[in-house]
């Protein structure tokens, strides 16, 4: 079961978003996902490749001829928002240098509180874990996280395919801790939340496992 609120606008965005959220795919797999012909998918892929947004790699899958698998390039990944990266990094460094680490920690705590208040207010009338996950994913997607969720048995996975604050998080570990605190606040302290994959540790996406104790 997958729930992913789309935010694409045109053909190129649809292709790039699929490669961002699903990982490397073949032309046939992209065509199937988008409901178009394989030839149409190949033409769009060639165009995106010429623009330097995607790249291909030949691989063998079982018996048969090698298949071209497409993935995003660094330029392609840059099409997804990194919120005011340079300014954010400058502010973090300035606070640490001028005011000290404690002041930076206080700023992150204040941000965390504001984020939680915003989410809690938006989710005030939403009951049931599945409904809250759907609404929360929609909000996070609007913020640039390309969020989705799926259920696997009794376990729920909340997936963020992009991190618009990644550069800031690499400079300040407390930001990721703050994000985890927010997840626990939104989903309820009775739920057990574990981060399985982490973008700043080299993973393609951030994945949170949500379980009932």
The CATH number of the domain holding residue 122 is: 3.30.1380
Residues 33 and 93 in one domain: no
pLDDT of residue 147: 94
**What is the structure's pLDDT at 41?**
93
Last residue of a domain, one of 30, 46, 77: 77
Pairwise CA distance, residues 62 & 179, whole Å: 40
Task: Look up tokens 């190949």; give the residue.
Answer: 42
| Domain count across the chain | 2
> Rounded to an integer, what distance in angstroms lies between the CA atom of residue 42 and that of residue 38?
6
Please tell me the predicted confidence (pLDDT) of residue 7: 45
Segments in the chain below pLDDT 50: 1-2, 6-8
- 65 and 95 assigned to the same domain: no
Containing structural domain, residue 73 = 2-77
pLDDT at residue 14, rounded to an integer: 92
DSSP 200: G
The model's pLDDT over 86-133, given as tens digits with 9 standing for 90+, comes to: 778 888 889 989 999 899 999 999 999 999 999 999 999 899 999 999
CATH number at residue 19: 1.10.10.10
DSSP string, 130-182: HHHHHHHHHHHHHTT--EEEEEETTEEEEEES--TTHHHHHH-THHHHHHHHH
92 lies in the same domain as 31: no
Instruction: Say yes or no: 101 and 202 in one domain.
Output: yes
Q: How would you label 99-125 residue by residue, b for 16+ Cβ within 10 Å and e otherwise?
A: eeeeebeebbeeebeebbeebeeebee
Q: Same structural domain for residues 132 and 28?
A: no
């Amino acid at each position: 079961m997958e729930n992913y609120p789309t935010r694409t606008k045109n053909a190129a965005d649809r292709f790039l978003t699929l490669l961002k959220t699903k990982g490397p795919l073949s032309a046939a797999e992209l065509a199937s996902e988008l409901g178009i012909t394989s030839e149409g998918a190949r033409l769009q892929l060639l165009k995106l490749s010429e623009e330097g947004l995607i790249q291909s790699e030949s691989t063998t899958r079982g018996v048969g001829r090698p298949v071209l698998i497409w993935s995003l390039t660094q330029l392609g990944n840059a099409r997804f928002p990194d919120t005011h990266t340079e300014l954010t990094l400058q502010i973090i460094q300035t606070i640490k240098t001028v005011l000290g680490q404690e002041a930076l920690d206080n700023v992150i705590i204040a941000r965390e509180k504001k984020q939680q208040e915003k989410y809690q207010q938006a989710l005030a009338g939403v009951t049931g874990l599945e409904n809250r996950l759907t609404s929360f994913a929609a909000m996070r997607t609007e913020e640039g996280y390309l969020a989705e969720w799926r259920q696997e048995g009794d376990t729920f996975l909340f997936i963020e395919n992009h991190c618009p604050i990644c550069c800031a998080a690499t400079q300040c570990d407390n930001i990721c801790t703050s994000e985890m605190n927010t997840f626990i606040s939104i989903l309820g302290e009775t739920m057990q939340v574990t981060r399985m994959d982490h973008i700043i540790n080299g993973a393609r996406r951030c994945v949170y496992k949500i379980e009932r104790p």
